[in-house]
Chains A and B, each alone.
Chain A
């Protein structure tokens, strides 16, 4: 699988989750300075290990909660935001792994709310995708082993 294919699969997985569960259409965009207020992450292990992390702007996470739960008015609580962020990363990661070629099995961890992720890691390669929606912005970061990245790039 080539690097661009990996990126495309992350994009398609994110798009499907946002359309079906949050009724939001995402569009890949140039990354801009956006204040992300919440981040969720999930690890996976199998033939290779990695993680998917998602960062959400305040307006987006609120729109996701409202659309998912059918809430029209009223405040969206911290608990609902965290729950929604965890579920989103769980679905995007599960969908991404299911769409990988082959029949290799991956185990998913439990999705967690995490501090805003560091920009770089020496141990992992990353695919970083920035999306805009009608409801706000998000960033999706797929981290995977450096040697795998070398395989993809070669």
Chain B
């Protein structure tokens, strides 16, 4: 199982770190796309389907909350799970992220294991990169 990932952060360095952490988390990345803010991310999404979005909040031009709102308004894009990764980790900001449709929240600074854990939870995959079966269920193809 491989995934297309979109990383949205205005810091080149942070995008590189997140990309590295995601690849170290056991996920096979088919493609990793990057954007410096929400507006650029929407442009990427117009050209490319992704399986998960990891987005910062505090960005110029279109911040993470505005980006989440734009995704929610689109009947196709709203189905892509978004993990917010931000320094703004007060409870009201976390709650607002979830209210706007985010599926996970990671506080900066973070440890690689924290990113891995949230990715696994949001995508429902295990360490082997395959989908977790629900309790008492087996995936039998």
| A residues at B contact (CB < 8 Å) | 16-17, 19-21, 65, 68-70, 79-80, 83-84, 86-87, 90-91, 93-95, 97-98, 103, 105-106, 108, 110
Chain A hits for B16, CB < 8 A:
69
Question: Once the chains bind, are B20 and A94 in contact (CB under 8 Å)?
Answer: no
Chain A hits for B13, CB < 8 A:
65, 68-69, 80, 83-84, 87
The smallest C-beta distance from B131 to any residue of chain A, in angstroms, reads 30
- Which of B27-35, B72-80, B83-91 binds A? B83-91
The B37-87 residues at the A interface (CB cut-off 8 A) are 58-60, 86-87
* B130 CB-CB contact with A under 8 Å: no
The smallest C-beta distance from A124 to any residue of chain B, in angstroms, reads 22
Specify the chain A residue showing the minimal Cβ separation from B107.
A98
Known: A21-B109, A70-B20, A95-B109. A108 touches B12 (CB 8 A): no
Chain B hits for A108, CB < 8 A:
58, 87-88
Chain A hits for B20, CB < 8 A:
69-70
Question: Once the chains bind, are A93 and B87 in contact (CB under 8 Å)?
Answer: yes
| B residues at A contact (CB < 8 Å) | 10-14, 16-17, 20, 58-60, 86-93, 107-111
Question: Once the chains bind, are A97 and B109 in contact (CB under 8 Å)?
Answer: no
Chain A hits for B108, CB < 8 A:
21, 90-91, 94-95
- 7 pairs of A and B residues whose beta carbons are closest in the complex: A94-B87, A20-B109, A21-B109, A83-B13, A87-B11, A98-B89, A17-B109
Known: A79-B12, A87-B11, A110-B60. A98 touches B17 (CB 8 A): no
Question: Once the chains bind, are A103 and B90 in contact (CB under 8 Å)?
Answer: yes
Specify the chain B residue showing the minimal Cβ separation from A105.
B92
Question: Once the chains bind, are B17 and A68 in contact (CB under 8 Å)?
Answer: yes
